[in-house]
Amino acid sequence: MKILCFGAGGFIGSHLSQRLLADGHSVIGLDTHADKVQDIIGHARLTFFEKDIRADEVDLDRLIQEAEVVVDLIAHANPGAYVGRPLDVFRLNFMENLRIAEACVRHGRRLIQFSSCEVYGKTPVASLRGVLPDPDNPAYATFAEETSDFILGPLNKHRWIYACAKQLLERVLHAYGLEGKLNFTIIRPFNFIGPKIDYLPSEAPGIPRVFSFFMEALLQGRPLPLVDGGRHRRCYCYIADAIDCVSRIVANPRGACDGQVFNVGAPANETSIRDLATLMGRIYVEQFAPPGAPLPGTEDVPAGRFYGRGYEDSDRRIPDISKARSLLGWEPKTGLREMLEITMAYYVNGRRSKR
Ligand code: NAD
Ligand code: UGA
C-alpha cells in the first residue's frame, strides 16, 4: 500500500516508517525533523518531506489524494509543552489534525489517528480523593476503549488541554464515522519506550519524557529527579511490540479495525516512577557504569518547580488490551527490564539523536 505518514520523523513515526517499508509498503513521510529517519532516507520506497504541516507549500489535499492510507502522528507530545505552551498544543494537536482528518473525509481516505491514553485522564481514586475503601484495586485504573469514562482536571490545571484536544479530535472522527463520511481507526498509546525516544534534556529546549531525564541524570552522575516523589504509576510498552500492533492495524484484516479505537500498551509492565528510577539505576550500575560505582540516588522535586504552574498528573493507567488481543491477535512480549536495557544501551553507546 501507499501510506502517508504525518510525523514520520518522530519517535513512533521513525520506527513505524521502518516497519512499513519492511512490510513492503511505500511510505510518504512528512515531518519538521529528519534526524531520526537517517537510517531509511534513500530507501527506494520512501519519500520524505522535511516540512512543517502548516507551511503554505504543503499541499495537503494532493498528498492525501495520492495515498491509500493516512497515519497521523503529529502532535506536541510532552507534558512540558502542555504546561508551557497550551495554545500551541491546542492549535497543533487539534486544529492541524482536524485539517488532516477533513482532507481524508474530502478524499475518502482511511485515517489512522494517534490519540493518547491521556484521554482517560485520572482514575476515580484521584478524583474522589480518599473516598474509596480499596484505592489500590487495579480495576479503578484499568481503562477500556468502549466503557471507561474520561476524567480530566479543572481548568486551571492546563496540562489537560492535551487530553482535551485529543479527546475532541476523537469525538469529531467518531461523528464523521456516524455520518458514514470517514473510515478511521484511533490508537491510544500507553507510554512507549525504546531507542529514539525524545532527546536528552541538555540537548534541546523543552521538557522531554521521564526516561530522558533519568538517562541524562545517570550519564552525568546526578540524582534522578522524582516529581512529587515519583508516586504515580505507568505501564511501559516496548516500541517494537507497539509497532507490531500498529502494523496489524495498518493491515486491517477483514476490516476489523474500521471505526475502532485501540488501546496499545503492556498491562503487565506497571511500575511506579520511583521504582522505574531504582530499576534504571540498578541496570546502569550493573551494565554501564565503571566497576564499583555506587547506586545512583534520587531527588524529590515538587511538580510546580519541575513543570511550572498548571501541572497535574495522571495518577495511574493500565490498558485493557482485550480488543487488540481478540481482533488482532496481538500481545506485548517485552518486559520492563529488557526494554530499559535496550533503550539505555542505545543512549550509553552514543547513538543518541540531537533532539
Ligand atoms: P514525537 O514528538 O517524537 O513525534 C511527533 C512528531 O511530530 C515529531 O517528530 C515532530 O517533529 C512532528 N511535528 C510536530 N509539529 C509538526 C509540524 N508542525 N509539522 C510537521 N511535523 C510536526 O512523539 P511520539 O512519541 O512519536 O508520538 C507520536 C504520536 O503518538 C503523538 O500524536 C502523540 O501524542 C501520540 N502518543 C505517543 C505516546 C508515546 O508513548 N510515545 C503516548 C501517547 C500518545
Ligand atoms: C506523556 C504524554 O503526556 C503523552 O504524550 C503520552 O500519552 C504519554 O507520555 C505516553 O508516553 O504514553 P506522561 O506519562 O505523564 O505522559 O509522561 P512523562 O513525562 O514521561 O511522565 C511520567 C511520570 O514521570 C509523571 O508522573 C511525571 O511527573 C514523572 N517524572 C517526569 C518524573 O518523576 N521525573 C522526571 O524527570 C520527569
pLDDT tens across 136-191, in order?
999 999 999 999 999 999 999 999 999 999 999 999 999 999 999 999 999 999 99
- Nearest ligand (C-alpha, residue 93): 1
CA distance 160 to 309: 13
59 assigned to some structural domain:
no
Active site residue 162: yes
Q: Report the CATH number that the domain containing residue 104 is assigned in CATH.
A: 3.40.50.720
Question: Quick one: which atom of ligand 1 is closest to the CA of 53?
Answer: 19
Catalytic residue (one of 82, 120, 140, 162): 162
Q: In the chain, which residues have pLDDT < 50?
A: 352-355
Q: What local confidence, expressed as pLDDT, does residue 349 receive?
A: 87
Q: CB of 69 within 8 A of CB of 112? A: yes
Domain span at residue 219 reads 75-353
Q: How many domains does the chain have?
A: 1
Q: Which of 271, 266, 262, 265 is nearest to 234 (CA)?
A: 271
Distance from the CA of 293 to the center of ligand 1, in angstroms?
Answer: 36
Q: CB of 61 within 8 A of CB of 103? A: yes
Whose Cα sits closest to atom 24 in ligand 2? 210
To the nearest 10 degrees (0 to 180), the angle between helices 239-251 and 11-22 is: 60
Residues with CB under 6 A from ligand 2: 77, 79, 116-118, 189-192, 209-210, 213, 225-227, 230, 232, 234, 273, 313-314
Q: Is 9 in the pocket of ligand 1 (CB under 6 A)?
A: yes
Query: Which helix (H) or strand (E) is 288 found in, with range?
Result: none
Q: What local confidence, expressed as pLDDT, does residue 113 receive?
A: 98
CA distance 347 to 68: 36
21 assigned to some structural domain:
no
CA distance 70 to 83: 29
Distance from the CA of 1 to the center of ligand 2, in angstroms?
Answer: 34
Whose Cα sits closest to atom 19 in ligand 2? 209
Asked whether the whole model's pTM tops 0.95, one would answer yes
Q: What local confidence, expressed as pLDDT, does residue 276 receive?
A: 98
Tell me the three state secondary structure of residue 228.
Answer: helix
- Nearest ligand (C-alpha, residue 169): 1
Distance from the CA of 223 to the center of ligand 2, in angstroms?
Answer: 18
For CA atoms 63, 173, 81, 12, the dihedral sign is negative
Give the CA dihedral 334, 340, 343, 346, nearest 10 degrees: -130
For CA atoms 7, 12, 15, 18, the dihedral sign is negative
34 assigned to some structural domain:
no
Q: What local confidence, expressed as pLDDT, does residue 163 receive?
A: 97
Distance from the CA of 191 to the center of ligand 2, in angstroms?
Answer: 8
Give the CA dihedral 40, 43, 46, 48, nearest 10 degrees: 60
342 assigned to some structural domain:
yes
What are the phi and psi torsion angles at 264 (to 5°)? -125, 110
Q: What local confidence, expressed as pLDDT, does residue 351 receive?
A: 60
Count of CA atoms in the C-beta half-sphere (13 A) of 250:
27
96 assigned to some structural domain:
yes
Q: Is 246 in the pocket of ligand 1 (CB under 6 A)?
A: no
Distance from the CA of 153 to the center of ligand 1, in angstroms?
Answer: 23
Select from 97, 157, 191 the residue to mutate for testing ligand 2; criterion: most ligand atoms less than 8 Å from CB. 191
Whose Cα sits closest to atom 26 in ligand 2? 232
244 assigned to some structural domain:
yes
Question: Quick one: which atom of ligand 2 is closest to the CA of 227?
Answer: 33
Q: What local confidence, expressed as pLDDT, does residue 353 receive?
A: 45
158 assigned to some structural domain:
yes
Cell of 14: 521513525
Q: How many secondary structure helices (H) and strands (E) does the chain include?
A: 13, 15
For CA atoms 192, 11, 146, 90, the dihedral sign is positive
10 assigned to some structural domain:
no
- Nearest ligand (C-alpha, residue 208): 2
